[in-house]
Structure 1
Amino acid sequence: MEMLPAVRPAETAVERPSERGVSLRGTPPASTPTALLELLADAGAGPDVLKATRSWIAKRPSEHSRTAYAKDAAWWLAFCAAAGVDPTRARSTDADDYETALRATGLAKATRGRRLAAASSWYTYLVRADVADRNPFEGMERPSVSADDSPTRGLTPKQLATLLAYAREHESTRTYALLTTLATTAGRIGSVLALTYKGLGHDQGHRVADLVVKGDKAKRVVLVPLAVEAIDAHLDGRQLRPDDYVFATRTGRPMDEPAAFRLIRRVAKAAGIPHHDALSPHSLRHSYATALLDKGVPLADVQDAMGHADPRTTRRYDRAAGKLHRSPSYRMQEELAKAMETAGH
């Protein structure tokens, strides 16, 4: 059985997770599957561990999913390195310390739960591959995320319009096109950043974009005129090949998610959005759902646009849910009044 070198220090004192010298926020210790393997190799992992990890990553159905798992798993490896823990010999107490450290950072429950799930998934595969004895995350109580509420900070339609108007006047065509696409398609940031030129097209008289979503599937979304104009202006005069990225950097690679995160906060601050420091790319997706549900767009239509398998997920974005002015009793009263009027004749 392949094991990483044992590097656990003598336990002469209890050390709090916050004192272990590792930051669990900001740029991930590894941002790609290759970088994750390099992180493991630097920690002294042998060929069996590297091979198993490579296979675990390869099982993910899409490049976006593989990258996301690599990023989330990397935080645990960084924590282990700072704590002097051999990951293949980690104990349940080490996993609990990691969960405690994540909680101390103030990260959202969903983010903490995702990182813990990635680490647990990795161990499940290592045990199956006979390169680890146990999964220290097995049986752990993970953060519960309410099905009825979304912690994401959104924007009102007026604030969103202010953000886009500022970007159109003061930012690059790429920035304006990216923000407009996010605001009008409800696309996840990873899917939008991965959009290539061949993903743009026409269907039934509509301009459309094919976004790669969970499960490595393509979801066709409508590009409304506002987004079409922004994208066309951004791509105007460029000689693009089918696999070129629409929102590419100067090197031709797609913009990464941390850069998009920083961009949105920077533009929101410049545009005078009060809570700019609490926004993220998901805020635009959140704002899309909230605005449409407030306007009375049927839940099923918003659910389809968001790509949610469960309508309860969509309901989390309905800030007016349960408000008395939205009570269907008023609609029932209208129908009864009409029927009673007819019955009286």
Structure 2
Amino acid sequence: MFRVSDLPAELPRPDLATEAAVRRSLGRRRPLHDPAAQPVDRLDLLIDALSPEVTALVVLWLGGTRRASRDTRIGYADDLLLWADWARRELGRERFALDLRRGDITMWLTYQQDAGAAASSVSRRLSALSSLYRYAAGWGLPVVSPISDDDHRPKFHRGRRATSARVLDADQVGDLLAAATDVRDALVVGLLYTAALRVSELCGADDTDRQDEGRRTWLVVTRKGGKSVRVPLETTVAELLDAYRATRPAWTGDGAAPLLADATGNRLDRHDVTRLLRRLAKAAGIPRPETVGPHSLRATAITDQKRRGHSAEDLQELSGHADVRTVMVYIDDDGRAERVAALTDDLGRVMAAVPRRLTSP
């Protein structure tokens, strides 16, 4: 077990308050290779996977203000767990330490390519590790990042691509709802779709984040960057939330009860939500149910509203993006070729000036 008091005096030493704050922020998840196990505090999983020195560094790193977003902290923690798991299996490292070499990263990249990992995922995991190395160097620790921009940084197109979240249509979302056998499942689909929520916003919401004003129910969610905003709940979704709260398993943990819980009363995490949606997709007869995930509903909602004529600015407000250009990444542009062809035809008005003798056989 990790204890601050066990660390040599010259190494970074997080205080207990920072450690407790990081523990709360990271929440719980199931171990990587045991999806049937009970959720465990992410920090405890990191403690088991990392050397004590790296654990102390990670607590300070994740507790810093530059990583204030809960979603960012969880993403970095999960990426580190993946790095540690790979180093244990492929390099024989019992505990992960910041002693990787350039050749190790090249080997890791080969492993990722063989596993079919998306370039965006590879880039994100490299960025997480690179950020930790920079943080360690900032403390004056004798570490050198093994990641090379020339050899290791993948180039990928930012926009909709084969690995983007799958976009459904509104009828298929209706099929998911029709396949729901309990209130919670229908509520999860309704919240993700009608409010275009990120799964981190959904899973991070507490019961106390629900607010009623007149005939409208609101939910306070924490966006990327740590900003709290209120999102309106659709009427039926609010009714489902009322019904769910009446039957939700009792909360026995510290602090506010989670808005959504599993059968044992623990907070739902993104893996729980993914399994839930894929189960519903299979029951609904949606082709390739294994490709349906939480982000599918968010991307579907944005795409649906774009096709119904809403402006990019309105979609930005719905999705909570800081940059309106980012909204376009989520839009399924399967009609793009036809629209571009229509533009080309319209521009072709000037071609009427071509003498007919030049175009006649």
2:319 is the counterpart of 1:312 = no
Q: Give the alignment of 1:181-220 within 5 angstroms.
A: 181-203=191-213, 205-220=215-230
Paired residue for 1:323? 338
Paired residue for 1:146? 157
SS of the residue corresponding to residue 147 of structure 2 reads coil
Task: Check conservation: 1:33, 1:57, Cα contact below 8 A.
Answer: no
Task: Check conservation: 2:80, 2:128, Cα contact below 8 A.
Answer: yes
In structure 1, give the amino acid aligned to 2:276.
Answer: L
Change in CA separation of 1:137 and 1:26 when aligned onto 2, cut-off 3 Å = farther
2:82 is the counterpart of 1:69 = no
Render the CA deviation track for 1:288-315: whole Å, top value 9, x for unaligned: 0111111111111011111122222211
Task: Check conservation: 1:65, 1:214, Cα contact below 8 A.
Answer: yes
2:52 is the counterpart of 1:52 = no
Higher mean displacement: 247-256 or 79-88: 79-88
Change in CA separation of 1:225 and 1:291 when aligned onto 2, cut-off 3 Å = same
Can you give the 5+ residue segments of structure 2 that lack an aligned partner in the other structure? Answer: 1-9, 12-31, 348-361
In structure 2, give the amino acid aligned to 1:287.
Answer: T
Higher mean displacement: 95-104 or 187-196: 95-104
Change in CA separation of 1:106 and 1:233 when aligned onto 2, cut-off 3 Å = same
Task: Name the CA distance, whole Å, in 1 between partners of 2:177 and 2:343.
Answer: 35
Task: Check conservation: 2:312, 2:327, Cα contact below 8 A.
Answer: yes
Task: Check conservation: 1:197, 1:240, Cα contact below 8 A.
Answer: no
Change in CA separation of 1:144 and 1:220 when aligned onto 2, cut-off 3 Å = farther
Task: Name the CA distance, whole Å, in 2 between partners of 1:61 and 1:149.
Answer: 28
Render the CA deviation track for 1:110-162: whole Å, top value 9, x for unaligned: 22222121111111112222444201124254333423314211211111111
Change in CA separation of 1:312 and 1:238 when aligned onto 2, cut-off 3 Å = closer
Change in CA separation of 1:224 and 1:214 when aligned onto 2, cut-off 3 Å = same
Can you give the 5+ residue segments of structure 1 that lack an aligned partner in the other structure? Answer: 3-23, 333-345
In structure 2, give the amino acid aligned to 1:313.
Answer: T
Task: Name the CA distance, whole Å, in 2 between partners of 1:247 and 1:105.
Answer: 33
Out of 157, 170, 177, the position equivalent to 2:170 is 157
Task: Name the CA distance, whole Å, in 1 between partners of 2:87 and 2:159.
Answer: 34
SS of the residue corresponding to residue 136 of structure 1 reads coil
In structure 1, give the amino acid aligned to 2:160.
Answer: D
Paired residue for 2:4? none
Task: Name the CA distance, whole Å, in 1 between partners of 2:346 and 2:212.
Answer: 39
Out of 109, 113, 137, the position equivalent to 2:123 is 113
SS of the residue corresponding to residue 295 of structure 2 reads helix
SS of the residue corresponding to residue 88 of structure 1 reads coil
Task: Check conservation: 1:185, 1:305, Cα contact below 8 A.
Answer: yes
Task: Name the CA distance, whole Å, in 1 between partners of 2:342 and 2:322.
Answer: 25
2:42 is the counterpart of 1:35 = no
Change in CA separation of 1:147 and 1:49 when aligned onto 2, cut-off 3 Å = closer
Task: Check conservation: 1:99, 1:116, Cα contact below 8 A.
Answer: no
Task: Check conservation: 2:165, 2:299, Cα contact below 8 A.
Answer: yes
In structure 1, give the amino acid aligned to 2:92.
Answer: G
Paired residue for 1:281? 294
Paired residue for 1:271? 284
TM-score with structure 2 length normalisation? 0.75
CA shift, 1:107, in A, is 2.3
What percent of counterpart residues are identical? 27
Task: Check conservation: 1:294, 1:318, Cα contact below 8 A.
Answer: no
TM-score with structure 1 length normalisation? 0.78
Change in CA separation of 1:104 and 1:25 when aligned onto 2, cut-off 3 Å = farther
Paired residue for 1:296? 309
Task: Name the CA distance, whole Å, in 2 between partners of 1:221 and 1:186.
Answer: 10
Tell me how many residue pairs correspond in the alignment. 302
Task: Name the CA distance, whole Å, in 1 between partners of 2:271 and 2:68.
Answer: 22
Out of 102, 105, 116, the position equivalent to 1:92 is 102
Task: Check conservation: 2:249, 2:265, Cα contact below 8 A.
Answer: no
Task: Name the CA distance, whole Å, in 2 between partners of 1:330 and 1:226.
Answer: 44
Paired residue for 1:7? none
Change in CA separation of 1:174 and 1:239 when aligned onto 2, cut-off 3 Å = closer
Task: Name the CA distance, whole Å, in 2 between partners of 1:163 and 1:228.
Answer: 18
Task: Check conservation: 1:31, 1:70, Cα contact below 8 A.
Answer: no
Task: Name the CA distance, whole Å, in 2 between partners of 1:137 and 1:67.
Answer: 22
Paired residue for 1:180? 190
Task: Check conservation: 1:265, 1:280, Cα contact below 8 A.
Answer: yes
Out of 234, 237, 248, the position equivalent to 1:227 is 237
Change in CA separation of 1:252 and 1:131 when aligned onto 2, cut-off 3 Å = farther
Higher mean displacement: 234-243 or 61-70: 234-243
Task: Check conservation: 2:54, 2:97, Cα contact below 8 A.
Answer: no
Change in CA separation of 1:275 and 1:180 when aligned onto 2, cut-off 3 Å = same
